[in-house]
Structure 1
């Protein structure tokens, strides 16, 4: 083809989320204009401009097209190619003016597969899109299709536009038309797959995207989108492979890194999620969702300051995002975790500006005000949370606490009763109701609820119930029951402070037994209490063993070959003055003295020696003579209370 007949076709493709921008197409035309000095010079300038354009030298190209236009004002190709160059430089208004002039001068010279009016209308829609006027762009593109219904690029643009608007049904229809008119267009098949995906049709989504990979086997964006389908179908392994393949074909692909980060976040593999969010942001620094997800991953690793920074960046980039409320809410929680309560209050207030009816945000704001000691504001926000979520027990519970702190005992009792109505197994509410009833001088009612909380395993309730039985508060004094509940509290894994208090009470009682100095009736009550504790241990741990009353569960377990599992039970039984358990612990201590001189067994022996146990004292004295490895401090502490 002679160079004088070359012309650039100005179809400007718009880059959407998963769209690769295509190059301008080529077409040929035949001219029948008379040859003159100016017309020949115009052709030379046009051809030189095309050469500049093809080597990405856009400004020299535009200068050559303008010179051709000046030398031959009726030269339609000069006007058209000037439009292409201006569009590439971003001057869409100038481009549209040049294209319109080309159409006016010589529409018949344009390739028959494209209608020039349709292309001008299409590109005008592109110009409107660049200005942020998507709705007007859609109108222009629909007009272009009325002129030329088979223009695949316009169907594609409309598919992208409606996908952006969230109208996935219309988006799907236009992408279907795009692949109908351009069946070998891999990008169109890929985007059709994403429209199917948005509509929940995973089968057709997979078919379309896999077809795009048949057309373009190294199409990284299609692999990334295929991974999204695998992820939605919970095939984590296949999704990871697809995203990794996408990155292998196109390493600087932000959406593949982002999707892989999403996958690792779903797996709670936070370190790798963080790595891929950082990779995403290195490629696309203003990607708000990546900042938001990076903040979430960082918060999962308790890096609260960095998490706050990322969430704040995401908000700054897209303050009107649908997830803006969630970010403000998360920022509030993160500030709470860093003890920045004033900033937490401000964040929760911003969250409520975005979502005024959020029960969660009102509740958290109430907690923040409660931490400030502002009971009135805390109560106000708990009440709003209750109004929004009347079956949510936790705001009633917190409201009860604020009312108690304000001295409104009747109101606090009412709040705790409402919690228990909603959730009878709410042990903390049972306990707090019991405490409040006790403060209101209703000990009998208090005992009922503290007992319920204790039976549900709440350590602080068990410790208080033991004290109430020991003091005869709300019930007849019963030392045996007191000891049983203190023992439960002493071994409660979630109540360290109460555990220490309960252990101190039991230690005091063991001292009475070891000393033989108390009143016989009192010593007998204590002995009965420890016997009841041993029976409780037997009932708790001896379910799977045939043990008769009084037999040590720990000894039975050790004899069955489960020595390590037996030791914690043996220690509990020995603290409850079980002689068989104590004897086996002494035997085990002899075996462990070399390897484990600071084991729990020696801690038990040391404590009971300090309490005055003759057996523990004598055993430790014997060991101190036989083994130089016995800690000196252990024997010194024992010496203060051990009988001589």
Structure 2
């Protein structure tokens, strides 16, 4: 599901030995409260801000900062109460309204959050954070069309808003508009979002929105899997099962997958134009020859995961023996890979 980004910062609630200054000066107390808020010392910040409001109840900036501190502490009901009271007399305070909307989102009070966001946008259409959060809220209300519109408004003003682009892609997919979703996933994938990389791989694997390209699917899924996306690793495992003949697929499909893994391994060399290849050796072996063990291990893992038997054997040897002065035996990265390979039946079990 699309992920919300809070309309205001939410640092952790902490305590502090700091105390309000002895002088009964609301302005100084406000400055202290803001400084404590910026340092994440929320309890001390609320003390200073409440003291400022005790001395000067109409100090709007102090009440807005108090609402933010309460929200950051997780005291959502108190934050909503303070901010609603403030906005009744100062409806022009956009930041306070965004903090209120964030607190309402955290309470999952979607109708109230939507009302505050739409009010903020009516006054200031350029508030990108409000537009983004409105997309999250409208999605949560089941209004997919409205969520799509909100995210597109964000991207029209800021094309680099990658989280908005990824959320747009997700909502388009949920709305069964997969062809429109694919270019958005690809843009987010290029920007480095692991989940988007998984969906980019899935699009290439199935040919939805792009020509079917198993090599591209393997490349994207590998990048996502290396960053912990389980579904990407599952996609790669399914392809490996197809190539091994364990999955019930036509021979032509098996051959296509084998060729795709081979082409993926060949393309890895493009990232190392300075390396001369000797015969059919894996790229990782060539890196080891140059004493570049730190680079070689992840490359060998990629090659072995792409069905290179020489890379697989080399990893097993490296795990057992290491390389003196370069790589100790029993490397944790290699062990993690070998365990996953053993689970698929591609390596002997390891303790």
Q: Same fold (TM over 0.5)?
A: yes
2:243 to 492, 495, 513: 513
Distance 1:517 1:442 in 2: 30
Preserved CA contact (<8 Å) 1:325 1:355: no
More helix, by proportion: 1
TM-score (norm: length of structure 1): 0.45
Preserved CA contact (<8 Å) 2:101 2:113: yes
1:386 to 94, 111, 121: 121
Q: What's the offset of the Cα at 1:547?
A: 4.8
- Partner SS, residue 391 of structure 1: coil
TM-score (norm: length of structure 2): 0.77
2:339 to 606, 625, 630: 606
Preserved CA contact (<8 Å) 1:329 1:351: no
User: Which residue of structure 2 lines up, in the alignment, with residue 546 of structure 1?
Assistant: 275
User: Which residue of structure 2 lines up, in the alignment, with residue 483 of structure 1?
Assistant: 218
Q: What's the offset of the Cα at 1:500?
A: 1.1
Preserved CA contact (<8 Å) 2:67 2:80: no
- Partner SS, residue 373 of structure 1: coil
**Equivalences for residues 582-593 of structure 1 within 5 A:** 582-592=312-322
User: Which residue of structure 2 lines up, in the alignment, with residue 312 of structure 1?
Assistant: 50
- Partner SS, residue 142 of structure 2: coil
Preserved CA contact (<8 Å) 1:470 1:479: yes
Q: What's the offset of the Cα at 1:601?
A: 1.0
Structure 1 residues 479 and 553, CA gap change in structure 2 (3 angstroms):
closer
Structure 1 residues 285 and 575, CA gap change in structure 2 (3 angstroms):
farther
**Equivalences for residues 94-109 of structure 1 within 5 A:** none
Q: What's the offset of the Cα at 1:502?
A: 0.9
Q: Deviation string for 1:487-509 (max 9, x for gaps)?
A: 222123xxx4xx01111221233
User: Which residue of structure 2 lines up, in the alignment, with residue 447 of structure 1?
Assistant: 182
Q: What's the offset of the Cα at 1:422?
A: 0.6
Preserved CA contact (<8 Å) 1:514 1:611: no
1:411 to 133, 136, 146: 146
Q: What's the offset of the Cα at 1:368?
A: 2.2
User: Which residue of structure 1 lines up, in the alignment, with residue 4 of structure 2?
Assistant: none
Q: What's the offset of the Cα at 1:355?
A: 4.5
- Partner SS, residue 424 of structure 1: coil
Preserved CA contact (<8 Å) 1:311 1:331: no
Q: What's the offset of the Cα at 1:330?
A: 2.9
Distance 2:43 2:308 in 1: 53
User: Which residue of structure 1 lines up, in the alignment, with residue 259 of structure 2?
Assistant: 528
User: Which residue of structure 1 lines up, in the alignment, with residue 87 of structure 2?
Assistant: 352
- How many equivalent pairs are there? 331
**Equivalences for residues 234-253 of structure 1 within 5 A:** none
RMSD: 3.6
2:66 to 328, 332, 335: 328
Preserved CA contact (<8 Å) 2:36 2:42: no
Q: What's the offset of the Cα at 1:608?
A: 0.6
1:500 to 212, 226, 230: 230
Distance 1:573 1:318 in 2: 68
User: Which residue of structure 2 lines up, in the alignment, with residue 470 of structure 1?
Assistant: 205
Q: What's the offset of the Cα at 1:287?
A: 6.2
Preserved CA contact (<8 Å) 2:183 2:209: no
User: Which residue of structure 2 lines up, in the alignment, with residue 189 of structure 1?
Assistant: none
Structure 1 residues 353 and 558, CA gap change in structure 2 (3 angstroms):
farther
Preserved CA contact (<8 Å) 1:419 1:426: yes
Structure 1 residues 565 and 473, CA gap change in structure 2 (3 angstroms):
closer
Structure 1 residues 319 and 534, CA gap change in structure 2 (3 angstroms):
farther
Structure 1 residues 571 and 290, CA gap change in structure 2 (3 angstroms):
farther
- Partner SS, residue 364 of structure 1: helix
Query: 2:202 matched to 1:461?
Result: no
Distance 1:476 1:558 in 2: 37
From the CA coordinates, give the structure whose radius of gyration is larger. Answer: 1
Distance 1:562 1:349 in 2: 61
User: Which residue of structure 2 lines up, in the alignment, with residue 201 of structure 1?
Assistant: none
Query: 2:32 matched to 1:293?
Result: yes
For structure 1, the residue ranges without an aligned partner over 5 or more in a row are 1-270, 621-633, 636-644
Distance 1:449 1:528 in 2: 28
Preserved CA contact (<8 Å) 2:132 2:151: yes
User: Which residue of structure 2 lines up, in the alignment, with residue 428 of structure 1?
Assistant: 163
Query: 2:110 matched to 1:375?
Result: yes
